[in-house]
Amino acid sequence: MPKDGRISPVEIYRMLPRTNCKLCGCPTCYAFAFALMGRKKKPADCPSLLEEDFRPTLELLRQAFGEGERIEGTDFIINNEKCAGCGICDVVCQKASTTSVRDGVIHKREAGPPVFKIVDGCVKVANWPSCKRASGDTMCKLCVEKCPFGTLELVK
């Protein structure tokens, strides 16, 4: 695996059975690799990976992609098994949402509704439109970078 811990689609493809059986719902194993990256599919969606010969590959892919769910209409994947409910994501998001830098000058903005909220000890997306990423003009990822537990991921 690369230093940043991310697996590329080509690396995923090399781990797969490469039969292009279409039983996962994808036209090819390579397409399945991209579907895994985008969290549109889970490793267990490939029937061949459930066979005994591919059990180590299935476990490796489960570790790499976790059991997180993509939040509908957002770029977020939240893995609630990893969340400790610390709220760091919310704090850094609120700070980032109220400031911007233009021409080397820090500008303050009025805070909008928070993007995240902690419910039953787990982070939830409460207001996606408040996220800087929702506007499409920024690639803010402070919440992901500052989460000490790896709960949040961003995908396109």
Kindly report, residue by residue over 3-21, the tens digit of the pLDDT: 345 678 899 999 999 999 9
Which CATH number is 36's domain given? 1.10.15.40
In a domain, 59, yes or no: yes
Tell me how far apart the alpha carbons of residues 140 and 14 are, in angstroms, rounded to a whole number: 32
Domain span at residue 18 reads 9-66
pLDDT for residue 3: 39
| Residue that finishes a domain, picked among 24, 47, 66 | 66
Angle subtended at Cα 8 by Cα 4 and Cα 12, rounded to the nearest 5 degrees? 125
Same domain, 59 and 80: no
Task: Indicate the number of domains in the chain.
Answer: 2
Same domain, 108 and 129: yes
Give the max Cα distance, the chain: 59
Same domain, 88 and 46: no
| Residue that finishes a domain, picked among 66, 85, 110 | 66
Same domain, 139 and 94: yes
- Residues paired with 107 in a beta bridge: 100
φ, ψ for residue 123 (rounded to 5)? Answer: -75, 140
pLDDT under 50: residue ranges of the chain: 1-4
